[in-house]
Structure 1
Amino acid sequence: MSRSADVVVYGATSAGVPAAVAAAEGGAHVVLVEPGRHLGGMTSGGLGYTDVGDVRALGGAAARLRSDIADHYGTAPGRYAGPEPHVAEAIFRRWLEQAGVAVEFDASVDAVETTEGRDGRELRAMTTTAGDRFEAAVFVDTSYEGDLLAAAGVPYRIGREDRSLHGERFAGRQELVPGMHAMPPWISPFAGDPTGRAEGRILPQLHDRPLAQLGEGDGGVMSYGYRVCLTTAADRIPFDRPADYDEEYWELGRRLFARDRREGVERTAGRMLGLEPNLPGGMADGNSLGPISLSVLDGSAWEYPDASPQRREELRQHHLTHTRGFLYFLSHDPAVPIPIRRELSRWGLPRTEFADTGHLPHQLYVREARRMVGTQVLTEHDLLAGAVPPDTVALGSYHIDVREVQRVWRWVYEHPDPIGTVFTEGYLSVPVPIYGIPYGALLPRREDAANLLVPVCLSASAVAFASVRMEPQYMMLGQAAGAAAALAASLGVAAHDLPRDVLRECLRDTGLRAESV
């Protein structure tokens, strides 16, 4: 099959749906191409408790979703931080139907045709792994992984850069510091030796590699996981023992609880998993809390962005195995304190969600992957200064939120002999004021692609991206990219050459906020 459109949007994520809708409302003929079978990415894929930041920064599609959620449940806006996953997907589906946007599912990008145009290098068409070909005047990559931009040969970065690259205080490898997500001291990494004094085989769930120097760029990618919906409903699905459950895989958790008993530490189930009934219907959005959590810290996320489709599927299955195993471990293992097991026995998976994927989410939480090297690089300095540049297309406000990057071990030289100890590294939470995200951060360099916009894997440092990466920001940036794509297609100009006053007026008409509040 071969199809032509004014605008092709790749990835029906929380950015992709607003991008397609905005482009269609701008008068463009739009095709939305989605590698999977669902709409909405993480917004419909388990991330029910949405990290909003300052609500004054919300506009456009993010504000519209907030309003539609309230209308659906008959509540005031903001009563729920997010809807039930199936409700989020239904809202996105309605938006696309109302805008007249066709969606092609099960369509992963395989190759991209490019040509040298009058305005620079241009994407001409993309071909999927199924052999379908989509030609367009303008393309928008709204995938979490940046697969379209990579297939087009647009340069990108993965993971943490060195502090010297942009002069950022929070760049590179971080200090080994205590915290809620950190592993407490004196937990041995060695299988068969809980004392940590006899070096041997390393336990599972550790990233067994040398640590980079402090502040050094090591390509570290923050951990991935599944955000699970949990319920206490009578028809809940219990946490049964998975067929592939590995006892040794959870030895690190047993050692954590053994240390807690020795030190008199009492952990609650809520602080291990997040059991606040913050979703409609009394459901909870399980999150990665505590030293052992839903997040996988063995370096899988470092590998994922550039991995082949086959290897990505293996890594996704590894995360699913981890998720099922973690829920069973917390609710059944004798090493887990009785109060935690008793509380977990009240919870299970909801029968009303994710029926086609075993009641676990269809979307892996890819917190970060590729980041385009574009026309303008958004950095830590822009965020901390609260800069709102003239070409701002959306506002950001969520703190710089870097989840744990790796779980490692080091020798601690304690008398009389060194002790091998587990450390968790990478977590950061740095407040920022409201700031502007410039149009230039959505644009590749002209010589790389003159008709491509990238609102998710945008041009930002790893530090800055850790704030931009929230779903409400993706919605607004996707909407801005879609509106700009339609405008560029109608004017027959490169995305770089859109008159900024015309673009600004167009975005204002869609409800996006581009001025400081």
Structure 2
Amino acid sequence: MKRTDQSNFLSLFFLLVFLFGFSVYSQPTEKATYDLVILGGTPGGIMAAIAANRDGFKSLIIERNGHIGGLPANGLGATDIKTEAAVGGLFKEFIGRVEGHYISKYGKNSSQHKISKGGYRFEPSVAESVLTEMLKEHELIDVWKNYQFDVNTNNISIENRKIQSIIVFNRITGESKEVSGKIFIDATYEGDLIAAAGVEYVLGRESRNKYNERYAGKIYKYWGGPVGKGSTFEADDAIQAYNYRLCLTKDPENRIEIEKPEEYNREDYVSLIDDVLTGRNTSKLFQNYKKKNPDYSNKTTASVVADKPKIPGNPDGIQKVVNLVDLPNSKTDANNQHLAFISTDLPEENWPWPEADWEWRDNFAKRLKNYTLGLLWFAQNDEELPEWFRQECIGWGLAADEYVDNENFPRQVYVREGRRMKGQYFYTGKDVKPTGKNRRPPVHEESISAGHYSIDSHGVRKREPNRVHLDGFLSDHTEPFTIPYGVMVPKEVDNLLAPVPVSGSHLGFSTLRMEPTWMALGHAAGIAAATAIETSENVSDINIERLQLKLLRQGAVLMYFEDIDREHPAFFGFQLLGLKGIYDGWYAKPDKKVSRHKLREAIDKLGLKIENFKKNDLSRSEFAQIVFNEYFSKQLEKYQLGTD
């Protein structure tokens, strides 16, 4: 069967499943029961299952695709994290296993290991393999692949504020199943389970005044530069663009040439021609160049057709349309180019995705795939582009050993933002911005993980005349932050956690939406779920201190300090003293003498015994250890967590 015939057959099959699936849905052929039911085989969902399994609880992961792993298994191989030491736990375990793969297979001195950057850069197939192996090591985790959940009140049962069961169907066989659980976890990028459960959520962008976020609302901004004309900072319903994270290579032994897609619309790409000829780009460098060269023209001239324009900020060759980050084995993570007006993002057309059904989503995914392949083919072949540019682009193709069952193309759209829950804590841009010079962002006493990435939003609209960039495309500096438990706890349901469609504003969510953070939140969600089952409590009522202690024992970082890491003997003490507000600076300064003021503050806040602090020359490290031994060790004993 030809590829086109296969595609037509599958399209017809899934259409029939969609049309007739609801009658099957009403009569599930099988029922199953688990401790945790996790919708979404994303890294966040996987980490939740592993964490709960290590506490002895049985989990089910329901994944719509035929593969698990979410975006890291679909091209996002350049890990989005600014401060690596800010996130630990199961995320760090994943990174360590990725590095171990490259060392064991190629050697510690190999180029593959070097390019992997300690495990933070990896091929899609390696990410999927590592996550699969991590799951296989846990006997109490089941994974159902190719099972779909549709947001429909008929597919979820809720009694007394608790989800009793959900109904899913197999996309291959049409078989439906009912699954009950004690705790449910929404690990989807879309937030489908929170929507079905009636949890309040938000879409679109808030205004600047809503939460006092500097770059909120409608905004045009040079990349790395100032705000431009047309910015109103008003709220709207716009959703930031999606794309595919491509795995490209120039290796002729492992390259599939880009072919012109059947559904090709040249008009989607023609505006790129002038951008190439003039060197026009969205950077601050280009802005400064135009100021210093008032005779610069956006119009093409004969002189620049034959010669490559030398314009500051202008990316070279293929990087004019995709941003490349090197991965092992001569591959790249090819993302949208933030310095371009047209790249692999497809703004506006994705706006319905968060609330759309899967038929619409599948149609958009096909449109996005054709658009993406068409863009690459255009860059390599369109005769109105100058020869020098086409030659710089020719030679790039899809990696032949990736996605071998999907025409070497990613299986999953990069859904940067779906539904955002309105949970017990609503995270905003102010939660990741320093409160003053050399100060931290606000420290959350109920932190379940530290984290660090920029406020990062892609464009929400296609290019517009006389604008400095796409509407909404921006990056804003942050410092390592803390994340409170409440961002994944809904107000309306007592046995549901949402570590992926977390509670936050457009800008607050835009820094939490990175896979390291999602893995850390998934890790915390798994422990929180296990705790709620153990104590017969609602997820909103569990003891946060108990959760934090378990996370720390499992390698998590709850608050980042510049000068100590997990190997320091007083790490636990400093973490918890920091969250209590006793040490709120960037530096723990473990060898410095502790002040009497801090001693008194700790004694008063924690109810400690004064006689334990009679020594006059205690170092901060000794102080932290004494506090941990007297107060927090008792908490460990109280919760039967052990003290090793």
TM-score by length of 2: 0.70
Q: Secondary structure at the match of 1:88?
A: helix
Deviation at 1:180, TM superposition (A): 8.1
Most deviating of 137-146 and 225-234: 225-234
Asked if 1:48 is matched to 2:77, the reply is yes
**After the TM superposition, which residues 82-231 of structure 1 pair with which residues of structure 2 at under 5 Å, given as runs?**
82-100=121-139, 101-110=141-150, 111=152, 112-117=155-160, 121-130=161-170, 131-174=176-219, 176-179=220-223, 214-231=232-249
- Match of residue 291 from structure 1: 341
- Match of residue 70 from structure 1: 99
- Match of residue 477 from structure 2: 431
Q: Which amino acid aligns with 1:88?
A: A
Query: What is the alpha-carbon distance in structure 1 between the residues aligned to residue 222 and residue 488 of structure 2?
Result: 36
Q: Which amino acid aligns with 1:159?
A: G
Task: Flag the 1:238–1:377 CA change in 2: closer, same or farther, 3 A.
Answer: same
Q: Secondary structure at the match of 1:150?
A: helix
- Match of residue 458 from structure 2: 403
Q: Secondary structure at the match of 1:321?
A: helix
Encode CA deviations 1:66-113: one digit per residue, 9 max, x unaligned. Answer: 111111011478345321111110111111110121101111213443
Encode CA deviations 1:437-481: one digit per residue, 9 max, x unaligned. Answer: 110111001xx1111000111011111111111111111111111
- Match of residue 370 from structure 1: 419
Q: Which amino acid aligns with 1:384?
A: K
- Match of residue 442 from structure 1: 488
Query: What is the alpha-carbon distance in structure 2 between the residues aligned to residue 179 and residue 4 of structure 1?
Result: 50
Query: What is the alpha-carbon distance in structure 1 between the residues aligned to residue 511 and residue 221 of structure 2?
Result: 21
Deviation at 1:339, TM superposition (A): 3.0
Q: Secondary structure at the match of 1:357?
A: coil
Task: Flag the 1:275–1:428 CA change in 2: closer, same or farther, 3 A.
Answer: closer
Task: Flag the 1:348–1:113 CA change in 2: closer, same or farther, 3 A.
Answer: closer
Q: Which amino acid aligns with 1:465?
A: F
Which of 120, 127, 152 aligns to 1:81? It is 120
Which of 522, 529, 533 aligns to 1:478? It is 522
Q: What is the total number of aligned residue pairs between the two structures?
A: 474
Query: What is the alpha-carbon distance in structure 2 between the residues aligned to residue 493 and residue 128 of structure 1?
Result: 27
Task: Flag the 1:504–1:81 CA change in 2: closer, same or farther, 3 A.
Answer: closer
Deviation at 1:307, TM superposition (A): 1.2
Contact kept, 8 Å, 1:269 with 1:343, in 2: the verdict is: yes
Contact kept, 8 Å, 1:272 with 1:288, in 2: the verdict is: no
Encode CA deviations 1:103-127: one digit per residue, 9 max, x unaligned. Answer: 011112134434343xxx1111111
**After the TM superposition, which residues 492-503 of structure 1 pair with which residues of structure 2 at under 5 Å, given as runs?**
492-503=536-547
Q: Secondary structure at the match of 1:287?
A: strand
Query: What is the alpha-carbon distance in structure 1 between the residues aligned to residue 540 and residue 424 of structure 2?
Result: 9
Query: What is the alpha-carbon distance in structure 2 between the residues aligned to residue 275 and residue 257 of structure 1?
Result: 15
Encode CA deviations 1:232-278: one digit per residue, 9 max, x unaligned. Answer: 22231111222222222222223433444447446512432456561
Most deviating of 286-295 and 268-277: 268-277
Deviation at 1:285, TM superposition (A): 1.1
Contact kept, 8 Å, 1:163 with 1:171, in 2: the verdict is: yes
Most deviating of 267-276 and 161-170: 267-276
Q: Secondary structure at the match of 1:223?
A: coil
Q: Which amino acid aligns with 1:171?
A: A
- Match of residue 39 from structure 1: 68
Query: What is the alpha-carbon distance in structure 2 between the residues aligned to residue 355 and residue 181 of structure 1?
Result: 41
Query: What is the alpha-carbon distance in structure 1 between the residues aligned to residue 119 and residue 548 of structure 2?
Result: 31
Q: Secondary structure at the match of 2:433?
A: helix
Task: Flag the 1:312–1:277 CA change in 2: closer, same or farther, 3 A.
Answer: closer
Q: Which amino acid aligns with 2:344?
A: L
Which of 270, 273, 280 aligns to 2:328? It is 280
Q: Which amino acid aligns with 2:71?
A: M
Task: Flag the 1:158–1:275 CA change in 2: closer, same or farther, 3 A.
Answer: closer
Query: What is the alpha-carbon distance in structure 1 between the residues aligned to residue 484 and residue 404 of structure 2?
Result: 40
- Match of residue 294 from structure 2: none
Query: What is the alpha-carbon distance in structure 2 between the residues aligned to residue 181 and residue 327 of structure 1?
Result: 28
Contact kept, 8 Å, 1:7 with 1:489, in 2: the verdict is: no
**After the TM superposition, which residues 240-259 of structure 1 pair with which residues of structure 2 at under 5 Å, given as runs?**
240-259=259-278
Deviation at 1:363, TM superposition (A): 1.2
- Match of residue 388 from structure 2: 339
Q: Which amino acid aligns with 1:239?
A: I
Query: What is the alpha-carbon distance in structure 1 between the residues aligned to residue 420 and residue 353 of structure 2?
Result: 14
Contact kept, 8 Å, 2:322 with 2:344, in 1: the verdict is: no
- Match of residue 415 from structure 1: none
Please report the RMSD computed on the Cα atoms of aligned residues, expressed in angstroms.
2.2
Q: Which amino acid aligns with 1:132?
A: K
Deviation at 1:408, TM superposition (A): 4.5
Query: What is the alpha-carbon distance in structure 1 between the residues aligned to residue 399 and residue 198 of structure 2?
Result: 42
- Match of residue 391 from structure 1: 446
Q: Which amino acid aligns with 1:122?
A: K
Contact kept, 8 Å, 1:83 with 1:280, in 2: the verdict is: yes
Structure number with higher helix proportion:
2
Asked if 1:379 is matched to 2:428, the reply is yes
Deviation at 1:338, TM superposition (A): 2.5
More relative contact order in 1 or in 2 (CA 8 Å, sep 6+)? Answer: 1
Contact kept, 8 Å, 2:223 with 2:475, in 1: the verdict is: no
Encode CA deviations 1:408-430: one digit per residue, 9 max, x unaligned. Answer: 535x7xxxxxxxx7962111111
Query: What is the alpha-carbon distance in structure 1 between the residues aligned to residue 476 and residue 93 of structure 2?
Result: 28
Percent identity of paired positions between Structure 1 and Structure 2: 30
Q: Which amino acid aligns with 1:424?
A: L
Task: Flag the 1:150–1:277 CA change in 2: closer, same or farther, 3 A.
Answer: closer
Query: What is the alpha-carbon distance in structure 2 between the residues aligned to residue 276 and residue 312 of structure 1?
Result: 27
Q: Which amino acid aligns with 1:51?
A: D
- Match of residue 513 from structure 1: 557
Contact kept, 8 Å, 1:237 with 1:350, in 2: the verdict is: yes
Contact kept, 8 Å, 2:528 with 2:539, in 1: the verdict is: yes
Contact kept, 8 Å, 1:277 with 1:284, in 2: the verdict is: yes
Contact kept, 8 Å, 1:80 with 1:278, in 2: the verdict is: no
Larger radius of gyration between Structure 1 and Structure 2: 2
Most deviating of 217-226 and 76-85: 76-85
Query: What is the alpha-carbon distance in structure 2 between the residues aligned to residue 494 and residue 275 of structure 1?
Result: 45
Q: Secondary structure at the match of 2:238?
A: coil
Q: Secondary structure at the match of 2:181?
A: strand
